[in-house]
Chains A and B, each alone.
Chain A
Amino acid sequence: MKRCDRKVDIGRRWFLSGAGVAAAGAAAATVIPNRAEAGPQLARLSYPSNRLASVGDLKPNEPLQVAYPDADAPGVLLKLGSKVPGGVGPGGDIVGFTTICPHKGFPLGYNSSDKTLNCSGHYSRFDCENGGQEIWGHATQNLPQYYLRVDAKGDIYAEGVDELIYGRLSNVLEG
């Protein structure tokens, strides 16, 4: 069970079914979709500022399943234990990533022994301690990482993503 909990891998079947994160029994702080208000057209996408968790929810080197920028975009928050690129929080060690592989959209699993996200589809590997750099694999981009902010209460907010998420031509879905 311990091993299972550690795994971000939410299961290929789940992902292919397109079911919501809540249905997969996600841990704390599942996101409520937060669509940007219609407004002036801007050069950059307007991302929602979503609270994903509180600093206290995170245990060292244990993935917390989240979703961002909406419920159909599974991701993970990690407290890695040492300051890393893109890291926030008191130790600069909290990072967040999409867990949809940017190669072909299979779910990534977290390997706590070397702090990597790994794809069972075609063996791609991404380094959580180095901005999601693709250590080895087929994706033509490094792993999309969240821009995170921690407020005075210790709540962790995601406020943007630095690469295109697999399966959507706009990170913020617009219909």
Chain B
Amino acid sequence: MTFKRHIGRLPIIPTDAKEHNVTCQFCIVGCGYKAYTWDINQQGGPAPSQNKFGVDLSKQQDAMTANWYAPSMYNIVKQDGKDVHIVIKPDHDCVVNSGLGSIRGARMAEESFSEARSTQQQRLTEPMVWRYGQMQPTSWDDALDLVARVTAAVIDSQGEDGLFVSAFDHGGAGGGYENTWGTGKLYFGAMKIKNIRIHNRPAYNSEVHATRDMGVGELNNCYEDAELADTIVAVGTNALETQTNYFLNHWVPNLRGSMDKKNAQLSGEAHPPTRIIFVDPRRTVTVNACEVEAGKDKVLHLPINSGTDLALFNAWLTYIAEKGWVDRDFIAASTKDFDKAVAANKTSLEDAAKITGLSVDDIRKAAEWIAEPKDGGARRRTMFAYEKGLIWGNDNYRTNGALVNVALATGNIGRPGGGCVRMGGHQEGYVRPDYPGGKPAPYVDKLLLEGKGGVHHIWACDHYKTTLNADKFKQNYKKRTDLVKDAMSSVPYGDQKAMVAAILAAIGKGGLFAVDVDIVPTKIGQACQVWLPAATAGEMNLTSMNGERRLRLTERYMDPPGQSLPDCIIAARLANNLERVFREMGKSDVADKFKGFDWKTEEDAFMDGYHANAKGGEFVTYDRLRAMGTNGVQEPATGFENGKLAGTKRLFSNGKFGTKDGKATFMATQWRGFEAPGKEEESKKFAFLINNGRANHVWQSAYLDQDEDLVTDRYPYPYIQVNPEDMKDLGLSAGDLVEIHNDNGATQAMAYPTPTARRKQAFMLFAYPMGVMGNVVSAGVNELIIPNYKQTWADIRKIASAPGAARGTSFKSWEYKA
């Protein structure tokens, strides 16, 4: 039976409710929201004089109204220790989303910690340590003392390379400028930690290193460019499900034929009907929505052979150059190595067709849509957007470079209606001292698997869900951490000297002491000996920027659960403890490195970090951001005048790029087949491509959604989309549990019949707690240790008929039909 809340009425926001600026804590888009809080024993009323909206709520409100909120937008939370009502609803005045809310963001209130309404009771509320054979609550002082003593001892014996770290590097929840600075100052300032990785990959590296090396920072346009483009090229991105309101509020108006902005900003040139090209092995709901809005003749879906994008982009460059559809003036003034790249990457349409499985005609047609001059001769404005299909795909570095080549050749960077941008996952929020390691950075998960390191600090990461070769990683990690757990169980906790000695002895035998800082118990946390409870966005003030570099402050609107603290403050207290312990050890020179962590609040961390170190940071303070509301300022900030921060709408609009000489550099990007070792063989040995990605209902790895009834009712188990004919061959019915298995490992999912899925190409959720896709991903990476999650092949077999929960869910097509 479908989940229903049985709520027919909600408390009304009174006129005197407090209003807080909120940016959605989830995806890169960063929709603007407002949080309203008011006293638990008060309520507004339907009369205009009685409610925050000033309207008559006894009347039905119209579509797109600002004067309504869903039950998911309401909760009761603590504020300064007292219960208050809270409504977190989309902000109609935010230019990012104009009042739209996704199925993820519009549940922020319901996904908040509430004692009164029992939501998110999975949250960690106290520090926990391994004592007496299980995790037990303790104080911050006790937990941090233990962590500091073991960490200091390991550094003392193994050097700083003995400390392994996994840490977020992004914005939004589980990140933000305050927290990336807090952890960054600790590990790259006070220490020089090289063995560190990021939340979704096994090393400390950029997902888009090529574009940066070419001088083209990856978030170079603004969301309005999607409204101004003549053609949009979407590579390995499924925007309707993963950047929902960027797509709905900025792509769709253009596809529907909205001309207001084009006429106002781009007069004097033709504005033909907008076209869109998708490069994606899978037909997504985004493709369908574009066909609905623009008409099928304006949508070109290129269902490419998985992992062959590079050959396609090289063919585009070759064809466009041959036709002379390049921006010669721009190439001459602002770039270098164009001729070299064209020569090196020369690929005929026919050769590209062979590699990609596409037709010559479609490849040519795409090139025409991208670059053929418009009626009247004006340059076509084309925006290039890419994400995980490229990033987690074959030959990441060269493929990224090959796409940027096409954007540069056609003069589409720094110009209205252009851009060559990653779409993004999380928001961004990076400010840290320089990473002290090399390039390529150490393959941290491989080193851990090989028994390296003695202590592991984990910040909002969960390797058990988000690494490759995950089956073997987990088996090994459990063995190593169990060694330490067993040693700890053999000593009374109160005998601290003996405890630390036992831990160190176990580490000496290959054990690992693991500390998990997170907001909820994680899968990798099951192996850790210490859990430290963190606060999330809204429980602390938090700054981040979105996919058009829009920086906003989410104001603290509720208390963090229990004793939990902002990550930056946890980092500071850990630094204080390490300083004390090193001093006790008589190493005052080491202890002195941990000075400068006397922050009391997250604002202290912001001023020490972003304000003092980020480009344009000197203009930015909390007060100034507060005044800029949910529209904030686009980074880099360039000044503060008349009470407002000034920012940067597009990067590189002056034709100067991020290289020493200011010229963007074309890249030689020859096709070389499957780059990562073993992929070619795997593709031949196993029947199904196991493509993977996100679900619309679910944010990221479901760390909050795994506890949510709306989501678990819809998808009681992670799904795998399979073509109905393939299901027939495998003897599968809708909802059956299947095992996906290959030489790397095995995992499970629920079969979802999908007529649009191509034969032998399945798609399963990435990083879902009950069916980790990484189990079947090989250890193969690119030359910069970027994982290749997308090119994975495996066999599928039935392991159980549809369990009860699966029988209650719908297996109908996701595709809207008019």
Q: Is B810's CB under 8 angstroms from A169's CB?
A: no
Identify which of A45, A121, A131, A140 contacts B4 (C-beta below 8 A): A131
Given contacts A111-B817, A123-B292, A137-B103, contact A163 B1 (CB under 8 A): no
**Within the complex, what minimum Cβ distance (angstroms) separates B629 from chain A?**
22
Most chain A CB neighbours (cut-off 10 Å) among B7, B60, B240 = B60
B810 contact from A44, A104, A135, A173, Cβ within 8 A: A135
Name the distance in Å between B155's Cβ and chain A's nearest Cβ. 47
Q: Is A105 an interface residue (CB 8 A)?
A: yes
Given A136-B696, A164-B8, A171-B8, check contact A114 B813 (CB 8 Å).
Answer: yes
Complex CA distance for A175 and B3, rounded to whole angstroms: 30
Q: Quick check: is B524 within 8 A (CB to CB) of the other chain?
A: no
Across the two chains, which residue of chain B brings its CB closest to A120?
B818
Complex: A137 Cα to B56 Cα, angstroms: 29
**B59 — which chain A residues lie within 8 A by C-beta?**
72, 173
* Chain A nearest CB, measured from B805 CB (Å): 13
Tell me, yes or no, whether B584 is within 8 Å of chain A by CB.
Answer: no
B64 nearest CB neighbor, chain A only: A104
Residue of A nearest to B289 (CB): A123
Q: Judge if B12 is at the interface, Cβ distance under 8 Å.
A: yes
Q: Which of A125-165 contact B (CB under 8 A)?
A: 125, 127, 129-142, 145, 160-164
| Interface of chain A: mostly helix, strand, loop or mixed | loop
Chain B residues whose C-beta falls within 8 Å of the C-beta of A45 in the assembled complex: 8-9
> How far, in angstroms, from A118 to B813 measured CA to CA in the complex?
12
Whether A15 lies near B71 (C-beta < 8 A) is no
Shortest CB-to-CB span from B158 to chain A, Å, is 49
Residues of B within 8 A of A85 (CB): 1-2
B63 touches A168 (CB 8 A): no
The yes or no answer to A174 lying at the interface (CB within 8 A) is yes
Of the candidates B9, B56, B810, B818, the one whose C-beta lies within 8 Å of that of A130 is: B810
Task: Report whether B70 and A133 are in contact in the complex, using a CB–CB cutoff of 8 Å.
Answer: no
Q: Which chain B residues border A141 with CB–CB below 8 Å? A: 4-5, 70-72, 710
Q: How far is the CB of B260 from chain A (nearest CB, A)?
A: 19
CB nearest neighbor in B for A111: B817
Query: For A160, what are the chain B residues with a Cβ–Cβ distance below 8 Å?
Result: 8
Judging by beta carbons under 8 Å apart, are B809 and A130 in contact? yes
| A-chain residues with CB within 8 Å of residue B713 when the two chains form the complex | 133
Does B373 sit within 8 A of A, measured CB to CB?
Answer: no
Q: Which of A47, A137, A160 has the most CB of B within 10 A?
A: A137
Closest to B107 in A: A140
B265 beta carbon closer than 8 Å to chain A: no
Decide yes or no whether A16 CB sits under 8 A from chain B. Answer: yes
Q: Cβ of A127 and Cβ of B810 under 8 Å apart? A: yes
| B647 sits at the interface (CB 8 A) | no
Whether the Cβ atoms of A140 and B103 lie closer than 8 Å is yes
- Bound: A127/B3 CA distance, A: 13
Instruction: Tell me, yes or no, whether A73 is within 8 Å of chain B by CB.
Output: yes
Interface digits, B95-124 against A, CB 8 Å rule (1 contact, 0 not)?
Answer: 000001111001100100000000000000
Contact of A167 with B by CB under 8 A:
yes
Closest B residue by C-beta to A116: B812
B244: CB under 8 A from chain A?
Answer: yes
Which chain B residues border A134 with CB–CB below 8 Å? 103, 714
Residue of B58, B110, B248 touching A122 (CB-CB under 8 A): B248
CB proximity of B237 to chain A, nearest CB, Å: 17
Asked whether, in the complex, the Cβ of B244 is within 8 Å of the Cβ of A138, the reply is: yes
Most buried by A among B12, B59, B103, B696: B103
Whether the Cβ atoms of B100 and A104 lie closer than 8 Å is: yes
Minimum CB–CB distance from A45 to chain B (whole Å) comes to 4
Which residues from 172 to 229 on chain B have a C-beta closer than 8 Å to any C-beta of chain A? none
The verdict on A170 contacting B100 (CB below 8 Å), with A123-B240, A130-B809 known, is no
B285 within 8 A of A: yes
Q: Chain B contacts of A174 at CB under 8 A?
A: 46, 58
Asked if A131 meets B1 with Cβ closer than 8 Å, knowing A105-B63, A169-B57, the reply is yes
Give CA–CA (A166, B70) in the complex, Å: 7
Q: B8 contacts which chain A residues (CB < 8 A)?
A: 44-45, 47, 160-161, 163-164, 170-172
Contact status of A133 and B810, CB under 8 A, knowing A44-B8, A105-B61, A175-B58: yes
Residue on A nearest B73 in the bound complex, by CB: A140
What residues on A are CB-neighbors of B4 within 8 Å? 131, 141-142, 145, 162-163
Name the A residues within 8 Å of B244 (CB-CB).
Answer: 138
Q: A102 an interface residue at 8 Å Cβ cutoff?
A: yes
A72 B60 Cβ-Cβ under 8 A: yes
For A133, the chain B residues whose CB sits under 8 A away are 2, 713-714, 809-810
A119 CB contacts on chain B under 8 angstroms: 816
Complex contacts, A130 vs chain B, CB 8 Å: 2, 808-810
**Is the C-beta of A40 less than 8 angstroms from some C-beta in chain B?**
no
Tell me how far the C-beta of A33 lies from the nearest C-beta in chain B, rounded to whole angstroms. Answer: 12
Give the residue name and chain of the B residue nearest to A70 (CB). Answer: B60
| A-chain residues with CB within 8 Å of residue B439 when the two chains form the complex | none
B65 with A131: CB separation less than 8 A: no
A67 vs B58: C-alpha distance in the bound complex, in angstroms?
17
Whether the Cβ atoms of B60 and A168 lie closer than 8 Å is yes
Contact A164 B65 (CB under 8 A): no
A122 to B90, CA, bound (A): 16
The reply to whether A140 and B70 form a contact with Cβ atoms under 8 Å apart is: yes
Q: Are B63 and A121 in contact (CB under 8 A)?
A: yes
B10 touches A164 (CB 8 A): yes
A12 interface residue (CB < 8 Å to B)? yes
Which of A105, A121, A127, A133 has the largest count of B CB atoms less than 10 A from its CB? A133
Residues of chain B within 8 A (CB-CB) of A166 are 68, 70
Closest chain A residue to B247, Cβ basis: A122
> Considering only CB atoms, which chain A residue lies closest to B9 in the complex?
A170
Set of chain A residues within 8 Å of B71, measured between Cβ atoms = 140-141, 163-164
* Pick from A47, A111, A169: contact of B10, CB under 8 Å: A169
Question: A39 at interface (Cβ–Cβ under 8 A)?
Answer: no
A106 at the interface (CB under 8 A from B): yes
- Residues in B neighbouring A25, C-beta threshold 8 A: none
* A56 on the B face (CB < 8 A): no
User: Which of A132, A162, A168 gathers the greatest number of chain B CB atoms within 10 Å?
Assistant: A168
Closest CB in chain A relative to B17 CB, distance in Å: 14
**Binary B-proximity of A87-108 (CB < 8 A = 1, otherwise 0):** 0000000000000101111100
Known interface pairs A134-B714, A171-B8; A16-B58 also in contact (CB < 8 Å) = no
B6 within 8 A of A: yes
The listed residue with most A CB atoms (<10 A of its CB), out of B3, B107, B240, B812, is B812
* Cα–Cα, bound, A172→B8 (Å): 8
A118: chain B residues at CB < 8 Å are: 816-818
**Chain A residue with Cβ nearest B99:** A104
Q: Whose C-beta in chain A lies nearest to the C-beta of B6?
A: A162
Q: A41 → chain B, closest Cβ, in Å?
A: 12
> What are 26 A-B contacts defined by CB distance under 8 Å?
A15-B62, A18-B62, A85-B1, A121-B63, A123-B285, A123-B289, A127-B810, A127-B812, A133-B713, A134-B714, A135-B810, A140-B73, A140-B101, A140-B710, A145-B4, A164-B8, A166-B70, A167-B62, A167-B63, A169-B12, A169-B46, A171-B8, A172-B8, A174-B46, A175-B56, A175-B58
Q: Which residues of A contact B (CB under 8 A)?
A: 12, 15-16, 18, 44-45, 47, 72-73, 85, 100, 102-106, 109, 111, 114, 116, 118-125, 127, 129-142, 145, 160-164, 166-175
**Besides A18-B62, A125-B814, A138-B100, 8 other CB < 8 A contacts?**
A85-B2, A104-B100, A105-B65, A106-B63, A164-B5, A164-B10, A169-B68, A170-B8
Which 9 A-B residue pairs are closest in the complex by CB-CB distance?
Answer: A131-B2, A175-B58, A105-B63, A123-B816, A140-B72, A136-B814, A72-B60, A167-B61, A171-B8
